[in-house]
């Protein structure tokens, strides 16, 4: 970590005697003052055990130097501590932000850790086009336009977009498609678009529908519904029955949008409702997103606990990590208070650039919203605990079926997909005690130029070589959770032999791997399992472990097929123009609009290329030379 004028870092190496525990921690007190900052506790192998913040570092660290009075979790942590690191900050707010950032980076064993931290989708109405596009957006808000969100899932966004298209008839096609159309597409025919691409709606009228869509997404749906109803009545009185029917359909679609948003609070305009339930050493945090007085969905989280954390400690840790890469809303309405509420408000206000209020309501509509979220958290955790118990039994059964030393904590399943060797993609899925770990999935674009098309053995060799070379580089001592305990390979004896060769070349000789091959007639249920130096064998047709392996193999196949289709679709969408130096998206659009296709551009003579708007003489000569070998 870099050092700045307002921050200082201080690490004292572990004593030569490799002492651990509160006596080692006490040695640091001589060098500390009561500045705010962040501390890290490390074990004898310099792995980070815990990251914490402090209003006064010396005072906080002195608590750990006491030989007694700690919870079981903290006592274990202290007993493993061999050294510490310190980073001072200007304020306690900076310490809080830095603490959460380091926790997410380092994933210490004794911290509460938010494991699933993906970004949430938004709806964006583009602002750089005369006829703006409405679409789903995920990631940084770098594009010009109006953003609405977050929504809890892609499904929630897609449902809302689907209904919004029926109501407001905004286009969802790309600018390139829009510019190249000469007649309306199917969406116009099914009354999902007003066909601005071919001039069926004026710029001013389209701008009006854009403004209405934005007003609806800001919560002014009642006004828009009344406006559409008045237009429908006017059309009916003027005996424009077709137009009146179209407006009626739009009002109906608008009602469906409002109904699909579930409970829409009257007194909460913009807030996240966050409820925590803990049971059996596990926790579930349920988050509901309220924007523009509308419920835009919910998402549940299962933070990893270090041992015996209190609910307020879990809630504080969750908030800090959850909003590390997200903009907080105006209000956070919680089921659980915690000691550092004012400090968290200050930190989140700094991220938002405006006031953030944290509430724990006792009565009224806000309390009812929290109770609903808490009920969801309780039910979600109960389901997860039941599924986890089943999953642990299956992993134990897997160990027994294949003679493993114990239940595998991490199972990796490999497959690949291609069409006669084209657009080859390898896929890895991961399963563990918590089920499928989708955040750990990986795809591999097969690069081998020397591979024979369709060489499944060669593809598997490239995929596993890349995977385990990287693992060996990042964690040669094999101490991290990223190392698998079992590999399942889609294939029979040939694939297993290829994997054995790869592992031998990498010097990995203690990682079990099993080939899963379809048996007689390639019938599911007759799978054969292959291991090096052993005869193929099968499991009973009704064995739950067999069904479990089938599900893992099918999930790997689904993921591989999806990655392959994405790669193939991307390749189909490319044109030879993408390879011409100096041709970006704007010039490519101009050329395609002028000539109609990339093939026509390739055949054009120099004079025609120079006639295209936005194409200079120099660029025209470059294009002509590219397609005519410089002649």
CA atoms within 13 A on the CB side of 220: 10
- The reply to whether 398 falls in a domain is no
The reported pLDDT for the residue numbered 423 is: 62
Tell me: do 435 and 550 sit in the same domain.
yes
Rounded (10°) CA dihedral 98, 99, 100, 105: 90
CB 567 within 8 A of CB 425: yes
Antiparallel, parallel or unpaired: β 410-419 and 486-490: parallel
Same domain as 280, residue 245 = no
Task: Inform me whether the pLDDT recorded for 115 exceeds 80.
Answer: no
Average pLDDT over residues 585-592: 82
Q: What is the pLDDT of residue 572?
A: 53
Rounded to an integer, the average pLDDT of 79-93 is 93
Number of domains composing the chain: 5
Judgement on whether residues 582 and 555 belong to the same structural domain of the protein: no
Instruction: Confirm whether 403 is domain-assigned.
Output: no
Q: Out of 242, 260, 278, pick the residue that ends a domain.
A: 260
Q: In 218-281, where does DSSP find H-type helix?
A: 221-237, 241-260
Which residue, among 340, 373, 374, 344, has the nearest Cα to 357 in the 3D structure?
Answer: 344
- Checking DSSP bridges between strand 48-54 and strand 122-126, what pairing results, if any? unpaired
Q: Which helix (H) or strand (E) covers residue 9, if one does?
A: strand 8-12
Percent of the chain scored above 90 by pLDDT? 35
Q: Are 416 and 425 in contact, with CB atoms under 8 Å apart? A: yes
Residue pLDDT, tens place only, 313-333: 999 999 999 998 888 999 999
Q: Measured between alpha carbons, how far is 249 from 229 in angstroms, rounded to an integer?
A: 11
**What CATH number is associated with residue 364?**
3.30.420.340
Find all residues with CB under 8 Å of 24, minimum gap 6, and list them: 14, 15, 81, 82, 83, 84
Same domain, residue pair 597 and 489: no
pLDDT at 16: 42
Q: State residue 452's pLDDT score.
A: 59
Residues 139 and 249 in one domain: yes
Q: Are 93 and 55 in contact (CB under 8 A)?
A: no
Give the predicted TM-score (pTM) of the model.
Answer: 0.71
Cis bond upstream, residue 363 (ω within 30): no
Q: Is there a contact between 536 and 528 (Cβ–Cβ < 8 Å)? A: yes
Looking at the predicted structure, is the pLDDT value of residue 297 above 80?
Answer: yes
Q: Would you say residue 2 has pLDDT above 50?
A: no
CATH code of 594's domain: 1.10.150.20
113 lies in some domain: no
pLDDT at 449 > cutoff 70: no
Q: Is 231 helix (H, G, I), strand (E, B) or coil?
A: helix
The residue among 382, 402, 428 that closes a domain is 382
Q: Do 251 and 135 sit in the same domain of this protein?
A: yes
- In terms of DSSP bridges, do strands 83-88 and 37-42 run parallel, antiparallel, or are they unpaired? antiparallel
Cβ density class 407-424: b for 16+ within 10 Å, e for less:
bbebbbbbbbbbeeeebb
Closest CA to 334 of 318, 346, 321: 318
- pLDDT, residue 14, reads 44
Does residue 507 lie within any of the structural domains?
Answer: yes
Contacts of 17 (CB under 8 A, 6+ apart): none
Do 423 and 551 belong to one domain?
yes
pLDDT the model gives residue 418: 58
Task: Indicate if 345 and 423 belong to the same structural domain.
Answer: no
Q: Based on the domain organization, do 21 and 90 belong to the same domain? A: yes
Asked if the model's pLDDT at residue 420 lies above 60, the reply is: no
The answer to the question of residue 2 being in a domain is no
- Identify the residue with better confidence: 245 or 179: 179
Q: Output the pLDDT for position 586.
A: 81
Q: What is the CATH number of the domain that holds 50?
A: 3.40.1440.10
Instruction: Give yes or no: residues 420 and 552 share one domain.
Output: yes
**Measured between alpha carbons, how far is 172 from 314 in angstroms, rounded to an integer?**
41
By DSSP bridging, strand 282-291 and strand 122-126 are: unpaired
- 453 vs 391, which has greater pLDDT? 391
Residue range of the domain that includes 220:
122-260
Write the CB contacts of 52 (distance below 8 Å, at least 6 apart in sequence).
38, 39, 41, 60, 99
pLDDT at 291: 87
> What pLDDT does residue 174 have?
86
CA-to-CA distance for 47 and 53, rounded, in angstroms? 18
First-last CA distance in the chain: 55
User: Would residue 98 count as lying in a domain?
Assistant: yes
Go through 118-144 and write b for each residue having 16 or more CB atoms within 10 A of its CB, e for each that does not.
eebbbbbbbeeeebbbbbbbeeeeeee
pLDDT at 564: 66
Whole-angstrom distance, CA of residue 357 vs CA of residue 338: 14
Note whether 255 and 288 are same-domain residues: no
> Residue 394 falls within a domain, yes or no?
no
Of 73, 106, 139, at which residue does a domain stop? Answer: 106
Q: Is the same domain home to 459 and 531?
A: yes
Give domain status of residue 513, yes or no.
yes
* pLDDT value for 7: 45
């Amino acid at each position: 970590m870099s050092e700045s004028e307002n921050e200082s870092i201080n690490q004292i190496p572990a004593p030569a005697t490799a002492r651990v525990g509160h006596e080692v921690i006490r040695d640091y007190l001589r060098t500390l003052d009561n500045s705010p900052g962040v501390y890290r506790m490390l074990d004898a192998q310099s792995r980070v055990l815990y990251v914490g913040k402090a209003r006064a570092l010396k005072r906080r660290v002195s608590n750990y130097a006491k030989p007694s009075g700690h919870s079981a979790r903290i006592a274990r942590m202290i007993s493993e501590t061999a050294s510490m690191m310190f980073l001072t900050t200007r304020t306690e707010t900076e310490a809080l932000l830095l603490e959460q950032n380091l926790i997410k980076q380092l994933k210490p064993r004794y911290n509460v850790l938010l494991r699933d931290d993906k970004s949430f989708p938004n709806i964006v109405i583009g602002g750089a086009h005369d006829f703006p596009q409405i679409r789903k957006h995920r990631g940084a808000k770098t594009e010009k336009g109006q953003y609405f969100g977050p929504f809890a899932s892609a499904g929630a966004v897609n449902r809302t977009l689907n209904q919004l298209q029926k109501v407001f008839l905004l286009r969802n096609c790309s600018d390139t498609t829009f510019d190249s159309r000469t007649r309306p597409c199917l969406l116009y025919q099914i009354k999902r678009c007003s066909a601005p691409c071919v001039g069926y709606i004026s710029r001013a009228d389209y701008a009006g529908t854009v403004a209405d869509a934005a007003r609806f997404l800001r919560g002014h749906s009642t006004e828009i519904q009344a406006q559409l109803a008045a237009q429908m009545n006017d059309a009916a009185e003027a005996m424009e029955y077709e137009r009146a029917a179209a407006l009626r359909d739009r009002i109906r679609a608008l009602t469906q949008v409002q109904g699909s948003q579930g409970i829409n609070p009257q007194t909460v305009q913009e807030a996240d409702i966050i409820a925590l339930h803990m049971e059996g050493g596990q926790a579930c945090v349920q988050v509901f997103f309220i924007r523009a007085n509308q419920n835009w969905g919910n998402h549940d989280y299962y933070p990893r606990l270090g041992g015996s954390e209190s609910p307020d400690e879990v809630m504080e840790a969750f908030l800090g990590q959850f909003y590390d890469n997200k903009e907080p809303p105006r209000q956070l309405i919680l089921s659980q208070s915690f000691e550092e509420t004012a400090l968290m408000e200050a930190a989140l206000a700094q991220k938002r650039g405006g006031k953030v209020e944290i509430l724990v309501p006792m009565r009224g509509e806000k309390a009812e919203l929290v109770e609903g979220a808490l009920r969801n958290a309780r039910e979600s955790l109960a389901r997860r605990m039941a599924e986890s118990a089943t999953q642990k039994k299956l992993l134990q059964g897997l160990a027994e079926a294949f003679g493993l030393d114990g239940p595998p904590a991490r199972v990796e399943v490999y497959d690949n997909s291609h069409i006669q060797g084209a657009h080859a993609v390898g896929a890895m899925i991961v399963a563990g005690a918590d089920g499928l770990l989708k955040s750990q999935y990986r795809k591999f674009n097969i690069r081998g130029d020397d591979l024979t098309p369709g060489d499944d053995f060669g593809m598997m060799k490239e995929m596993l070589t890349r995977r385990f070379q990287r693992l060996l580089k990042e964690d040669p001592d094999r101490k991290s959770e990223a190392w698998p305990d079992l590999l399942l390979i889609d294939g029979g004896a040939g694939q297993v032999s290829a994997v054995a060769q790869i592992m031998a070349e990498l010097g990995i000789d203690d990682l079990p791997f099993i080939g899963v091959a379809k048996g007689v007639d390639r019938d599911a249920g007759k799978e054969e399992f292959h291991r090096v130096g052993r005869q193929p064998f099968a499991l009973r047709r009704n064995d739950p472990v067999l069904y479990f392996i089938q599900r893992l193999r099918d999930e790997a196949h689904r993921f591989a097929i999806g990655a392959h289709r994405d790669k193939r679709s991307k390749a189909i969408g490319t044109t030879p123009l993408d390879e011409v130096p100096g041709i970006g998206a704007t010039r490519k659009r101009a050329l395609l609009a002028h000539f109609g296709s990339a093939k026509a551009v390739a055949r054009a003579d120099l004079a025609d290329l120079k006639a295209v708007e936005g194409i200079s003489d120099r660029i025209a000569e470059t294009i002509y030379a590219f397609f005519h070998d410089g002649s």
